[in-house]
Homo-oligomer: A and B are copies of this chain.
Amino acid sequence: MTIFATGVGVPHNGGMTEAVIHKRDYEGELKRAGVRLTRPRRVIVGLLTQTEDHPDALEIFRRASAIDPSISLSTVYRTMKLLEGLGAIHRHAFEGGPSRFEQAGGDHHDHLIDLDTGDVIEFKSERIEALQAEIAERLGYDIVHHRLELYGRKRG
């Protein structure tokens, strides 16, 4: 089992504002998709590139507003839906909350949600993935995608 990242927006360093975290070429993807590269879109994808956590639309709106106050929440929603359609980001609907997003492209992984803090911990189990495939196989289905979420609290 592999642990990918932990925490919600907590930088993995000592607080240094270190930039350039991921490799996704959002602008290229938008261009390829034949849509216009507008200011709001640049701001949003620019910020997603630096994003390590799983922010919801409102949080993305806040972060985008800090860069360009004229951006609207509607546009954030529209852009997230657009990027989701392009497969550039993933949308997670964790229980009891609004959708949260993360950039696609990294290795597939599932999530453990800390019920006390809301923190999202990523993990991956090849064994579980394989078992899921096996189950679908037995049931005569092709899996299009799946959702595995563990909800728990720190042992102690």
Nearest neighbor of A127 in chain B, beta-carbon distance: B131
Which of A47-55, A59-67, A100-108, A139-147 participates in binding chain B? A139-147
Known: A95-B147, A149-B146. A112 touches B134 (CB 8 A): no
Complexed CA–CA distance, A93 and B97 (Å): 11
Cross-chain contact B147 with A143 (CB below 8 angstroms)? no
Q: A3 at the A/B interface (Cβ < 8 Å)?
A: yes
Cross-chain contact B141 with A114 (CB below 8 angstroms)? yes
Residue of A125, A135, A149 with most chain B CB atoms under a 10 A cut-off = A135
Cross-chain contact A135 with B1 (CB below 8 angstroms)? yes
Q: How far is the CB of A24 from chain B (nearest CB, A)?
A: 24
Known: A141-B155, A146-B149, A152-B143. A125 touches B121 (CB 8 A): no
Cross-chain contact B146 with A153 (CB below 8 angstroms)? no
Cross-chain contact B141 with A150 (CB below 8 angstroms)? yes
Against B, the Cβ 8 Å flags (1 = close, 0 = not) of A72-94 are: 00000000000000000000010
Q: Which of B123, B144, B150, B151 contacts A153 (CB 8 A)?
A: B144
What are 19 A-B contacts with C-beta separation under 8 Å? Answer: A3-B138, A112-B139, A125-B131, A125-B135, A127-B131, A135-B150, A136-B150, A140-B155, A141-B152, A141-B153, A141-B154, A141-B155, A142-B153, A142-B155, A143-B150, A144-B152, A146-B149, A147-B147, A147-B149
